[in-house]
Amino acid sequence: MRALILLLLASCAAQPASAATRPDRRLATAAAFIDAFYSFDIGRLRKAMADARGSMGDTLYYQQWAEAGHYVVLDRKPCRLDKPSEVLCPVTVRDDLAPALGTSFHVTDDFHFAFRGTRIVKVWNSSDDPPEFHQAMQWLRRERPGIFTGPCRGMWEGGPTPKDCVRAVVKGFGEFTAKARPAL
């Protein structure tokens, strides 16, 4: 009987666990992606998202935007399963945008990952940008449209100059804060 139990245990241990039963692997993969993103090494990020080609344009753009916007990680919560095949990784950052808006708010970017097995196949972001951010972006579109046909052409779609774009937006946010923002 003892030999039968050992044989059964050995056969269970020898079978590979599916991604659904090993979320730790997906969580570790997502965490490694976050490491690659904030390394500001575009080659490393490309490698981390080799199976998510459809997400590369905006994600690679965002990495360069974050680098030129001087993103500094302030708080990085552990990645967690959000849905059976999705992982969420919240990262709070300090950047050049908030001071240009005259706020000390620190944005939390949520990195979302869709998995097929243990491979990332899609990446997208959401964030808790403050109302001032959205007001300033509307003002820029109205008052400084050249930003969006110049340095921010193709913004978030793999445009050619994300670093110039964020610098132009930061400058524009400073103008918004000085000239257009309603007095509080």
Span 27-42, pLDDT tens digits: 999 999 999 999 999 9
Nearest to 114 by CA among 156, 63, 51: 51
106 neighbors 130 (Cβ within 8 angstroms)? no
Please count the other Cβ atoms lying within 10 Å of the Cβ belonging to residue 108: 16
pLDDT of residue 160: 93
For the chain, the maximum distance between any two Cα atoms, rounded to a whole number of angstroms, is 83
**Helix, strand, coil fractions of the chain, as percent rounded to 5:** 50, 20, 30
Strand partners, 123: 113
**pTM of the predicted model as reported, rounded to 2 decimal places:** 0.83
Domain boundaries, the chain: 18-180
What is residue 127's DSSP assignment?
E
Q: What are the tokens at 35?
A: 């490491």
Fold adopted by 18-180? Nuclear Transport Factor 2; Chain: A, (3.10.450)
pLDDT tens figures, 156-172? 887 899 999 999 999 99
pLDDT of residue 179: 87
pLDDT of residue 182: 58
Per-residue pLDDT of the chain (184 residues; tens, 9 = 90+): 443 333 333 444 444 444 444 558 999 999 999 999 999 999 999 999 999 999 999 999 999 999 999 999 999 999 999 888 899 999 999 999 999 999 999 999 999 999 999 999 999 999 999 999 999 999 999 999 999 999 999 898 878 999 999 999 999 999 999 987 655 4
Distance (Å, rounded) from C-alpha 106 to C-alpha 103? 9
Q: What CA–CA distances, in Å, run from 157 to 3, 50, 57, 73, 152? A: 60, 18, 6, 24, 10
